Amino acid sequence: MSAPVLELRGVHAGYGRTTVLRELDLSVAPGEVLALVGPNGAGKTTLLRMASGLLKPQLGTVHVAGADATRQAPFRRAKGGLCLVPEGRGVFADLTVRENLRLQVPPWAESEDVTRALEAFPILGERLDQRAGSMSGGQQQMLALARCWLAKPACVLLDEVSMGLAPRVVDDIFAALKGLAAEGVALLLVEQYVDRALELADRVQLLERGRTTFAGPADQLDRDAVLRGYLGADVSHPSPQPTT
């Protein structure tokens, strides 16, 4: 396997005096999809925030592309190849799709060409002059995800990208992410629909109270145990939602 794009070693992290993550190790290699699963409060979002530089670890180190990035600011880690897509649709509602796309191209990119994002989500190409806030929720999420192609990252951190979306839109988004991984981009995925995440993932890491309780190939995880014991319900098939 190639050297990790992102590696966490012995990380402890939290907020104030509260420690959320404990003795946590994690790595993801180029083109690999690592699904991070566990119940609410397990520390999944905290891990993504810490990996991206928004939260400093209390102990341990963060390595990006083999270099120690523990003390680096978020924009330095982004320039080094990390791309965080947080929960929620982070678009500028009053700007057009075209303007949003241009703003997502980082200053260190060699080109402002947005073709790759439009190839991943063709619907955006049909709405370049439309205000982002007037689009459906699913289209706004696609626009938010466009940065995964425009920033040319080595590793993308994804936090609940399917939240509140209709199943057919989720299908389109996961197909695009699968294509991104096939291009050699590493994906660290936090996802509410465990079965969908495991279908895409090469490996899975299970968190409970901030500690890793399982790490290995996705096909070796007891999915039923996760759904019953960790999430308390069958979330493998989302309930019907309004088309967005």
> What is the Cα–Cα distance from 131 to 123, expressed in whole angstroms?
14
In a domain, 200, yes or no: yes
Whether the predicted model's global pTM rises above the 0.85 cut: yes
Q: Residue-wise pLDDT tens for the chain (244 aa)?
A: 689 999 999 999 999 999 999 999 999 999 999 999 998 899 999 999 999 999 999 999 999 999 999 999 999 999 999 999 999 878 999 999 999 999 999 988 877 789 999 999 999 999 999 999 999 999 999 999 999 999 999 999 999 999 999 999 999 999 999 999 999 999 999 998 888 899 999 999 999 999 999 999 998 887 776 666 555 544 444 444 444 4
In a domain, 112, yes or no: no
In a domain, 188, yes or no: yes
In a domain, 48, yes or no: yes
In a domain, 141, yes or no: no
Amino acid, res. 63: H
pLDDT of residue 230: 53
pLDDT of residue 1: 60
SS3 sequence, the chain?
CCCCCEEEEEEEEEECCEEEEEEEEEEECCCCEEEEECCCCCCHHHHHHHHHCCCCCCEEEEEECCEECCCCCHHHHHHCCEEEECCCCCCCCCCEHHHHHHHHCCCCCCCCCCHHHHHHCHHHHCCCCCEHHHCCHHHHHHHHHCHHHHCCCCEEEEECCCCCCCHHHHHHHHHHHHHHHHCCCEEEEECCCHHHHHHHCCEEEEEECCEEEEEEEHHHCCHHHHHHHHCCCCCCCCCCCCCC
Distance from the Cα of residue 194 to its chain's centroid:
14
| 6-to-59, 61, 80, 93, 160 alpha-carbon distances in Å | 17, 11, 10, 32, 19
- Say which CATH number the domain at 191 has: 3.40.50.300
Tally of domains within the chain: 1
As beta bridge partners, residue 61 has 9
In a domain, 22, yes or no: yes
In a domain, 144, yes or no: no
Residue span of the structural domain in which 213 resides: 6-89+152-230
In a domain, 201, yes or no: yes
